[in-house]
Structure 1
Amino acid sequence: MHQESTMDFNRINDRLTVSGQITPEEIAILAEKGFTTIIDNRPDAEIGPEHGSETMAAAAQEAGLAFAYLPIVPGQFTPDLIAEMGRLIDEAEGPVYAYCRSGTRSTTAWALSRAGNLAPEEILKQAAGAGYDLSAIAALLAR
């Protein structure tokens, strides 16, 4: 059994949970909890190699989880990035765990990927339920 983790599990919905940076050791805990896919939204330039995408991908592979490196530079949510975040979540075989520095970029990318498919109020409610206030992008969600 693993020691108790300090990870935050900020559950957006049945499909997605987000948090700040996790460690390679915590990936095994995510596998035990039933997650099938990890999305790393934290650019490698923000962190050292001990938490870099290659290290995290190797830990995910060892734990039997799918892994995607989709770095988000703060404030740079391109249409391609938003579409890819949505695709990764939609095509995952089960629950997805995404992380960045605090979870905000992961949540924002998810929210923008749902614009036009979910009511803006529902997107904001799900994000708020996980502790993320996305009211600043509410106008972008109503498209």
Structure 2
Amino acid sequence: MDIREITGNYSVSPQITPDEAVAIKAAGFKSVICNRPDNEQPDQPSHDAVKAAVEAAGLTFRYIPVISGQMTAQNVEDQAAALAEIEGPVLAYCRSGTRCTNLFAAIQQAKG
């Protein structure tokens, strides 16, 4: 896994797989957010498969899909709401981690 810490409570990574859920918990994360829509690539695991593994490991999971290059105000609001509700530290993932990083930056900008 290529985990990049943005803050002490929020990190991002490229696509994770179900078999990495236990390692994510062992790394200290309490929650996972998937920002990658299903079926972007034929070989990616579905969010349902990752969710099942993450929840089986005792972590919270949220699915907030963001289409690459098309982040919306609603995506930013949904991500901010999830971050306010779930326990951190949070690991957010997408294809490369960029959408998750951009969402976080947009949330910070909206806060002023």
Q: What is the TM-score normalised by the length of structure 1?
A: 0.73
The correspondence of residues 1-143 of structure 1 with structure 2, limited to 5 A, is 7-48=1-42, 51-117=45-111
Q: Report the count of equivalent residues.
A: 112
Between Structure 1 and Structure 2, the one with more strand by share is 2
RMSD between aligned residues: 1.5
Structure 1: where are the runs of 5+ without partners? 1-6, 119-143
Structure with greater helix percent:
1
* d(CA) in 1 for partners of 2:93, 2:103: 11
Which 4+ runs in 1 deviate beyond 4 A?
none
Q: Distance in 2 between matches of 1:49 and 1:68?
A: 21
User: Are the equivalent residues in 1 in contact too, given 2:10–2:88 (CA < 8 A)?
Assistant: no
Checking the alignment, whether the CA contact within 8 Å between 1:15 and 1:89 is kept in structure 2 is: no
Unaligned 5+ residue runs, structure 2? none
Larger RCO (alpha carbons 8 Å, 6+ apart): 2
User: Equivalent residue of 2:62, what SS?
Assistant: strand
Deviations 1:89-120 (A, max 9, x none): 222212000000100001001111111325xx
Q: Given the two structures, how large is their TM-score scaled by the length of structure 2?
A: 0.92
**Which letter does structure 2 place at the counterpart of 1:93?**
E
